[in-house]
Amino acid sequence: MIDLFFSKFERCFINWDRSSTNFSTLTISHFPNLYQPFGQVPAFQDEDITLFESRSINRYICDKYGSQGNKGLYGTNPLEKASIDQWIEAEGQSFNPPSSILVFQLAFAPRMKLKQDENLIRQNEEKLKKVLDVYEKRLGESQYLAGDEFTLADLSHFPNIQYLVNGTDRAELFTSRENMGRWWGEISSRESWKKVVEMQNSPPPS
């Protein structure tokens, strides 16, 4: 049994011992800092192992529990892992910074009744367009980012693209690009991702 703390008030219990992974959320009353030294989310506990930072958590889960799911999600040899890692790094260093700012400014600021920073939006939209031009070229060479199999490299891009495509008026950043549109259509139609979106849109547990 592993615990994944993904907000200050919710905890996700995941049972990896069964053939199909079961998970559910449970409201908790506090978020001990011992799970995350910076007091942020997510945090992850598996027996006596505690991790933070989502990319490290994802790699750990793929390595330890790969035999129970998609065995190739994090590669099956050093070269495959390196190829996946380079695109995870590209996501963290090039894609995530501008896309996260756009997600906050376009999707969250209106909900929080905060004033949007139009200059910041324009600057980061231009930055993201340059990144997506590189992705478009790459996805014209292979079906997925790290090759012809769906991997953690693709998975790491899900959250921000989901918000930008379905929660803002900037979907064309992705859908107007032929290869990116094809790629996003394929990966976002996966049943596992549909389940995540369903849980995200469901009311919090009472």
Domain of residue 12: give its range: 2-69
Angle at 143 between CA 137 and CA 147, to 5 degrees: 90
Q: What is the maximum span of the chain, computed from C-alpha positions, in angstroms?
A: 50
Verify that 91 and 166 share a domain, yes or no: yes
Residue type, 103: V
Q: How far apart are CA 194 and CA 202, in angstroms?
A: 12
**Residue at 203 is within a domain:** no
Is the per-residue pLDDT at 189 higher than 90? yes
Domain count within the chain: 2
Chosen domain end from 69, 93, 118: 69
This model's pTM is above 0.85: no
pLDDT of residue 130: 99
Verify that 160 and 85 share a domain, yes or no: yes
pLDDT digits (tens, 9 = 90+) for 170-184: 999 999 999 999 999
pLDDT digits (tens, 9 = 90+) for 12-33: 444 333 334 444 444 444 455 5
Verify that 29 and 120 share a domain, yes or no: no
pLDDT digits (tens, 9 = 90+) for 86-131: 999 999 999 999 999 999 999 999 999 999 999 999 999 999 999 9
Angle at 68 between CA 65 and CA 73, to 5 degrees: 65
Chosen domain end from 30, 48, 69: 69
Residue-averaged pLDDT of the chain: 82
Cα of first residue to Cα of last residue in the chain, in angstroms, is 22
Verify that 102 and 57 share a domain, yes or no: no
